[in-house]
Amino acid sequence: MKAHVPPFLSVKPALLTTALLATFTMGAAFAQAATEMPSGEHASADVDITQPIKAIDKLESLKNEQKLSLSIPKFQHFTTSNGVPVIFVQTKQLPIVDVDLRFNAGSARDESIRKQGFGLASMVADLLTKGTRDLDETAFAEATEQLGIELSSAAYKDQFVVNLRSLSDAEHLDPALSLMSSIITQPRFDAQVLERSKAQQVLALKQMMQNPSYLASTTFSQTLYGSHPYAHSPYGTQQSIPALTRNDLQKFHDTYFVAQNATLSLTGDLSLSQAKQAAEAITQALPQGKPAPKLPNPTPIKQSKWVHVDYDSDQTSVMIGQQGYRIDPSAKGIQRGTDFSIGNEVLAGSGFSSRLMGKVRKELGYTYGIYGSMTPMQAPGPYTIRFSTRNEKADEAIAATLQTVNDTLKQGITAQEFKLTQESLINSYPMGFASNAGINGMLGVLNFNKLPDSYITDYINRVEGARIDQVNTALRDTLTPDKFIIVTVGKPDIAKKSQLQKLK
Amino acid sequence: MKAHVPPFLSVKPALLTTALLATFTMGAAFAQAATEMPSGEHASADVDITQPIKAIDKLESLKNEQKLSLSIPKFQHFTTSNGVPVIFVQTKQLPIVDVDLRFNAGSARDESIRKQGFGLASMVADLLTKGTRDLDETAFAEATEQLGIELSSAAYKDQFVVNLRSLSDAEHLDPALSLMSSIITQPRFDAQVLERSKAQQVLALKQMMQNPSYLASTTFSQTLYGSHPYAHSPYGTQQSIPALTRNDLQKFHDTYFVAQNATLSLTGDLSLSQAKQAAEAITQALPQGKPAPKLPNPTPIKQSKWVHVDYDSDQTSVMIGQQGYRIDPSAKGIQRGTDFSIGNEVLAGSGFSSRLMGKVRKELGYTYGIYGSMTPMQAPGPYTIRFSTRNEKADEAIAATLQTVNDTLKQGITAQEFKLTQESLINSYPMGFASNAGINGMLGVLNFNKLPDSYITDYINRVEGARIDQVNTALRDTLTPDKFIIVTVGKPDIAKKSQLQKLK
C-alpha cells in the first residue's frame, strides 16, 4: 500500500506534466495537502440574471432539441492466438497507448487459495509491481522510470486489473510491453518485500479501523453477505495478512493469471495490426489455464437488521442497503439497468434535486449529502445509501430515508423528474469520452463483463427510449426497503436509546 | 464543504458515464468505499524475462533515440473587450468545451477583507455554486442538472478557480455560459445557506484537526510563514469561520471578481470566433476593477527550527522544508525551474530510485515513501519533504533525510542519475495531454501566471538541453537545509527524548 501523497507532491516521472503544472495550479493549496478536502468544490450552475428570460427559454427549449451528435469511437474486436478477447480503439491525437488487462480474480477468490486468507489478492497486486524473476525491486523501478511508463495493478472484489500507459512508438512500447508481460507471467514475489508489505498493510488496517467510513463499509459487507466471498474487505484483516505466504501469492497467480481468465483492452495511437502485435506481446506467455469458477449466490436477506458500531464522534455514519443485482449482458438486462439507474437518479442520485436530498438534506437539514447507488457485480452486488448526521438525529434521518424510499416506490417518480433526469443523463454522457484513460476504462469494463458494444454506443437511445412506467417497475422490482440492512457507526449512548433496537 | 463520497457512489449527472462504468469497474471494490485506499496500486515495471537481452538492449538503445514526436496543440491568444486575457485550444473529437476562469484571489486575500477572516475565500467558493440573485439553491441546481454541465469553484492560497464543462453546441453552451456568468457577477450568498455552510465547515475542521497530515501541514505553514498570508489554511479555523458574514463574502467578491484580476482559458470543439463569443459571454458583465495588489514577501527563515505536535499514534508524520521560489516567467526563471525539477527528481522525486527513497526507505527501512517538492507561487512558495515513520525511528529518519540532502548538495547528482531522469521526464511528458481537462488546466496555469507558451511547448527541449552542472547549481542555490523547518506530529514521550530538542 502506498502512503497517501497529494497528487501535486507525487512527482512520478510518468505524471510529470501534470505535476509540473499542478505545482502552479494547486500551488496555492499546499497547506491543503494530504487528506484535506478541496476548498469549496461544488457542482451546480445558474441562469444569467442579466438575461433571465432568454436563458430560461433556452433551458425550456432543450426539451425539443435535436439529437445529440456524438461520434463514439469505433470498437474493434479480435482474439489473441491463445484466446484472450481484445477490444481496441484507435486514437491518433497523442503518441501514447493505454492498456487494460483484467483477470477474473479479486478478493472474492482469496479463500480459494487459503482459508481465511483475506487480503491475498490485494497483496498480489502490491507485489506484482515490485520486481520480476530477473529484476529486483530497484532494477525494475529504474526500467519503468527510464521508459516513463505507468504500470500499476489493483485488486477489487471481483476483478484484478493491470494497467499500462506508454509512448506508442515501437522503441518505447516494445520494452514496456515486455515489462508488462513479465510482471504477469514471472512476478518476483520477493520474500523480503512481502514481509515489508505485510507489515505496512497491517499498519494501514490499524489506521483504517479508526475510520468510521471504513468501519461502516466492512460491517455492512459482513452483514449483507455473511459467508459469501463478498463479505470480506479486499484489504484483509490484521489477523489474516500476517498469515499469508509467498506460496499463497504464487498459487493465486498460477491459478488466475491465465489466458482463459483474461480480457484485454487497448486505446491509443496504433494501427489494428500494431494493436494485434501488442496484444500478443502481452498475453503470449500466459498459460491457457481455466476460467475462474462462477461465484456462488449470496444467501438472500430475509428481514431488516440493524448493526451498530461504537465510535466516539459527534457524527454517526450510516449505510443502508440490500443485495442488488448481478451484471446481465442481455438486452433486457441492460435496459433494466438503464431504467433502474434513471429511477435511482431521481430517488438517490447525487444531483441536488434527488428525493433523498430534498427530504433529508433540504427539508430536514439532517445531513449535507445523501446518495444511493447500485453496484452490479458477477454475483448480486450491493445497493447502498450512505450519509452521515449528528448522533442525535441519526434515528430520525434513517426513518426519513426509509419513508422516502417507500413513498417513491409507492407513488413512482413524476413525469417532470423523469424528463429532467433523462436530459441530464444524456447531456452529461459525452464527458465520459474526454480522456484516453476514460475510454480505455470503458473498454475494460465492457470486455470483462462480456457486454455488447451497444452497452456504450446505445446508451443515449436507451435513456431516450425509456418509459416512466418501466422505470418505476425497475425501482419496485429491485428495492426492498423492508429487508434493508442498516449499519450505524457512532456514539454508544445514542444507539442504546435508538428506535432501531427492535431490528437488532 | 462536501461530504466525502467515493467517485463510484457520487452519481452526479455530469459524471454519469464515469459512474455508470465505474459501477462495474470499481464494483468489486464497494467495501473499499470512502476513505479506504485502493488495494495495491503501484507503478513500476520490468523487462520480460523471456527475452531479457533484447528488452534490456531496447532500454539501452533509448539513449540514442530520435526525438520524441509530439504535436502540442496550438495555443490561440486573444483578449476580451473588457481586457481579460484568453488562451484557447481547439479540439474536435468531442462536442464539449472546458472553461477555466481564474481570479488572483485565494485565501491569501482573506485578511484584506476581514481581520482574521481566515476561510473567507473558501466560503465564497462554497456559496458561489449555491444560487444566483434570481435563482435559489434548488432552481439553480435543477438548471445545472438539466444541462448536464459541471460547474465548480475552488479557492487555493493564491488563486480562485471557476470551472465549467458543457456540451459545445449553442443550444447547450449558451445557457451554460449564462449560468457561469451569473454566478461570478450575481452570486446569491444566501444567508441561510451561509449559516449551514459555516456549521459544516466548523464540523469538518473539527475532524481535520484529528488528522495528523492536516496538523502537520497547518503547523508547517504557520511556522514557515509567520505573519504572511500563506501562513493560514484556506479552510480557516473553528474560530474564524463563525465570524464570517454575508457582507464579507460580498466584499471579497466585489473586490476580486473583476476583469482586471481575471484570466480565462478554453479548450474544446469551438471555432476561434465561437471561442471569442464564449469568452465575451462569460466576462462581459464583469466590472473593470483593479488587479489584486502584489503579495508581500514572507520574512526569511534565519535558522532551523523544530515544532512538535502531540498526537497519539504509532506513526510520526514529518514535514521538513523551507521557503522556496516564486513563479518567474522569464526565460531564465523557467530554465532554472526545469533545472531544479530535474535535480529534485533525483533527490526527492516520487520515483523509486530517488536518493531519499534509496536511503530512508530502501537502505534504512524507516518509511514506505518519502517525497520532496517545490511549489512555486506568487510569493515564494514552500519546498516540502514529507514522510511518516514509526515514532521510535523519527529522529533517525529525519537525520538521514537531512544527511541525504546535504550529501546531494555537496556531491551533486551523478551523470547516470541525470540521464535517467532526463529520459524519464521526456518520455512521460506526452501523458499530460491525454485529456481535455488536462490540456485546459495547463492553459489556466499558463494564463494565470503570465507564462509564455514556450513554458509548455519547449519543455522537452529544456530538459534535453539541461546541463548537469546547472542542475547541481540550481539545487545548491535553492535548498538551504541548515535553515529547514522541521514539523513532527506524533507521540509526546518520544518527542521529549528527541535530538531535535536543541532546535526548539
Beta bridge partners of A387: A318
Q: Find chain B residues with C-beta within 8 A of A34's C-beta.
A: 211, 213-214, 216-217, 386
Beta bridge partners of B382: B323
Pairing type for strands B262-268 and A485-490 reads unpaired
Cβ-in-10-Å burial (0-12, 13-18, 19+) of B109 comes to buried
Best of A89, A135, A145, A224 to disrupt the B interface (most B CBs within 10 Å) is A145
Q: Does domain B305-503 fall into CATH 3.30.70.141? A: no
Pick one of 2.60.40.1930, 3.30.420.40, 3.40.50.970, 3.30.830.10 as the CATH number of B76-283. 3.30.830.10
Task: Work out the minimum CA distance from A176 to partner chain B, whole angstroms.
Answer: 8
- Distances A453 to A428, A450, B94, B275, B333 between C-alpha atoms, Å: 19, 9, 19, 34, 50
At A228, which helix (H) or strand (E)? none
Judge whether B32 and A444 are in contact, CB under 8 Å: no
Kindly state the cell numbers that stand for B439: 490540456
| Amino acid B22: pLDDT | 30
Judge whether B86 and B79 are in contact, CB under 8 Å: yes
Q: What is the DSSP string of B59-79?
A: HHHGGGPPPP---PPPPEEEE
| Amino acid A29: pLDDT | 29
d(CA B294, CA B196): 33
Q: What is the pLDDT along chain A (504 residues), one digit of tens a residue?
A: 232 222 222 222 222 232 333 333 222 222 222 222 223 333 222 222 223 333 444 555 455 455 667 778 899 999 999 999 999 999 988 899 999 999 999 999 999 999 999 999 999 999 999 999 999 998 999 899 989 999 999 999 999 999 999 999 999 999 999 999 999 999 999 999 999 899 989 988 988 898 899 999 999 999 999 999 999 999 999 999 999 999 999 999 999 999 999 999 999 999 999 999 999 999 999 999 999 999 999 999 999 999 999 999 888 999 999 999 999 999 999 999 999 999 999 999 977 889 999 999 889 989 989 999 999 999 999 999 999 999 999 999 999 999 999 999 999 999 999 999 999 999 989 988 888 888 999 999 999 999 999 999 999 999 999 999 999 999 999 999 999 999 999 998 888 888 888 888
Count contacts between A and B (CB, < 8 Å): 692
d(CA A201, CA A241): 7
- Distances B454 to A189, A479, B123, B326, B444 between C-alpha atoms, Å: 45, 56, 36, 18, 15
Cβ A148–B182 below 8 Å, yes or no?
A: no
Q: What is the pLDDT along chain B (504 residues), one digit of tens a residue?
A: 232 222 222 222 222 232 333 333 222 222 222 222 223 333 222 222 223 333 444 555 455 455 667 778 899 999 999 999 999 999 988 899 999 999 999 999 999 999 999 999 999 999 999 999 999 998 999 899 989 999 999 999 999 999 999 999 999 999 999 999 999 999 999 999 999 899 989 988 988 898 899 999 999 999 999 999 999 999 999 999 999 999 999 999 999 999 999 999 999 999 999 999 999 999 999 999 999 999 999 999 999 999 999 999 888 999 999 999 999 999 999 999 999 999 999 999 977 889 999 999 889 989 989 999 999 999 999 999 999 999 999 999 999 999 999 999 999 999 999 999 999 999 989 988 888 888 999 999 999 999 999 999 999 999 999 999 999 999 999 999 999 999 999 998 888 888 888 888
Best of B1, B21, B44 to disrupt the A interface (most A CBs within 10 Å) is B44
| Amino acid A432: pLDDT | 85
Q: Same CATH topology for A76-283 and A305-503?
A: yes
Task: Work out the minimum CA distance from B496 to partner chain A, whole angstroms.
Answer: 24
Q: What does DSSP assign to residue B273?
A: H
Strands (E), A182-325: 262-268, 305-310, 315-323
Q: Find chain B residues with C-beta within 8 A of A186's C-beta.
A: 49-50
Cβ A17–B217 below 8 Å, yes or no?
A: no
Task: Work out the minimum CA distance from B213 to partner chain A, whole angstroms.
Answer: 6
Judge whether B104 and B158 are in contact, CB under 8 Å: yes
Task: Work out the minimum CA distance from A179 to partner chain B, whole angstroms.
Answer: 4
Cβ-in-10-Å burial (0-12, 13-18, 19+) of B53 comes to exposed
Q: Domain segments of chain A: what residues?
A: 76-283, 305-503
Which of B10, B153, B438 has its CB closest to that of A18?
A: B438
| Amino acid B73: pLDDT | 86
Q: Find chain A residues with C-beta within 8 A of B43's C-beta.
A: 12, 14, 129, 144, 150-152
| Amino acid B9: pLDDT | 22
Judge whether B216 and B317 are in contact, CB under 8 Å: yes
Task: Work out the minimum CA distance from A497 to partner chain B, whole angstroms.
Answer: 24
Q: Torsion over CA of B228, B234, B237 and B239, rounded to 10 degrees?
A: 80
Best of A9, A345, A428 to disrupt the B interface (most B CBs within 10 Å) is A428
- Distances B197 to A87, A296, A380, B134 between C-alpha atoms, Å: 46, 46, 38, 20
Cβ B374–A437 below 8 Å, yes or no?
A: no
d(CA A471, CA B333): 59
In 3D, which of B146, B22, B35 has the Cα closest to residue A373?
A: B22
Taking CA–CA distances from B225, the nearest residue in chain A reads: A31
Judge whether A316 and A287 are in contact, CB under 8 Å: no
Q: Is residue B371 left, alpha or beta, with left meaning phi > 0 and alpha meaning psi from -120 to 50?
A: beta
Task: Work out the minimum CA distance from A48 to partner chain B, whole angstroms.
Answer: 4
Helix residue ranges per DSSP H, A284-385: 331-348, 355-356
| Amino acid B53: pLDDT | 31
Amino acid present at A451 = L
Which of B29, B55, B157 has its CB closest to that of A28?
A: B157
Judge whether B284 and B80 are in contact, CB under 8 Å: yes
Cβ B37–A314 below 8 Å, yes or no?
A: no
Which of A10, A169, A377 has its CB closest to that of B371?
A: A10
Q: Torsion over CA of B321, B322, B326 and B332, rounded to 10 degrees?
A: -90
Cβ-in-10-Å burial (0-12, 13-18, 19+) of B213 comes to buried
Cβ B156–A433 below 8 Å, yes or no?
A: no
Best of A8, A23, A39 to disrupt the B interface (most B CBs within 10 Å) is A39
Taking CA–CA distances from B382, the nearest residue in chain A reads: A30
d(CA A176, CA A148): 9
At A172, which helix (H) or strand (E)? helix A170-185
| Amino acid B14: pLDDT | 26
Taking CA–CA distances from B173, the nearest residue in chain A reads: A58
Positive or negative: CA dihedral B416, B417, B418, B424 = positive
Best of B145, B190, B192, B361 to disrupt the A interface (most A CBs within 10 Å) is B145
d(CA A229, CA B65): 49
Judge whether A155 and A125 are in contact, CB under 8 Å: yes
At A490, which helix (H) or strand (E)? strand A485-490
d(CA A147, CA B223): 40
Which residues neighbour B503 within 8 Å (Cβ) at sequence distance 6 or greater?
Answer: B304, B305, B306, B486
Best of B319, B385, B393, B428 to disrupt the A interface (most A CBs within 10 Å) is B428
Task: Work out the minimum CA distance from A396 to partner chain B, whole angstroms.
Answer: 19
In 3D, which of A8, A28, A36, A9 has the Cα closest to residue B155?
A: A28
Judge whether B161 and B444 are in contact, CB under 8 Å: yes
Which of A61, A93, A183 has its CB closest to that of B46?
A: A183
| Amino acid B35: pLDDT | 23
Helix residue ranges per DSSP H, B62-169: 110-113, 120-128, 137-147
ipTM of the complex in this document: 0.80
Task: Work out the minimum CA distance from A489 to partner chain B, whole angstroms.
Answer: 14
Q: Find chain B residues with C-beta within 8 A of A377's C-beta.
A: 27-28
Q: How far is CA B227 from the centre of its chain?
A: 23
Which of A48, A146, A204 has its CB closest to that of B424?
A: A146
d(CA B251, CA A242): 58
| Amino acid A65: pLDDT | 53
Q: Find chain B residues with C-beta within 8 A of A126's C-beta.
A: 39-40, 42
